[in-house]
Amino acid sequence: MGVIVSILKDFSRIPGPRYVSEGKFSGEQFRKEVLVPKVKEAMESDSEILIDLDGVSGYGTSFLEEAFGGLIREEHIPYEFLKTKLKLKSEEDPDYKDEIWEDIENAHKEECK
């Protein structure tokens, strides 16, 4: 496996709201401080990136949408890179994986309009 991000180890056990302005450990903060640098590292080395979602207290839908949908909407990470290289691990709640992919797909559709 190439680049690995553990939200528990690399960010917080208690993911917060959507925006930094709304509180600690937001999806926006995670995207900017952790996710984008790791995604860029994976892009530069043409390797996969694994996001380990397990071990935290849970995720709000706004945290996940801002973090992952924001990769396309705010950071303009190529959709094709995410589709082929982004891997998600969520053994505790597999529905999070579906939710994240839906967020990415929706952001991509909006970008294509």
- pLDDT the model gives residue 32: 98
CB–CB of 87/50 below 8 Å? Answer: yes
Bin 94: left if φ > 0, else alpha if -120 < ψ < 50, else beta: alpha
Digit-coded pLDDT (tens) for 8-46? 999 999 999 999 999 999 999 999 999 999 999 999 999
Whether residue 1 is predicted with pLDDT greater than 80 in this model: the reply is no
Digit-coded pLDDT (tens) for 49-64? 999 999 999 999 999 9
Query: Span 63-88, mean pLDDT?
Result: 97
Reduce the secondary structure of the chain to three states and give it as a string: CCEEEEHHHHCCCCCCCCCHHHCCCCHHHHHHHHHHHHHHHHHHHCCCEEEECCCCCCCCHHHHHHHHHHHHHCCCCCHHHHHHHEEEECCCCCHHHHHHHHHHHHHHHHHHC
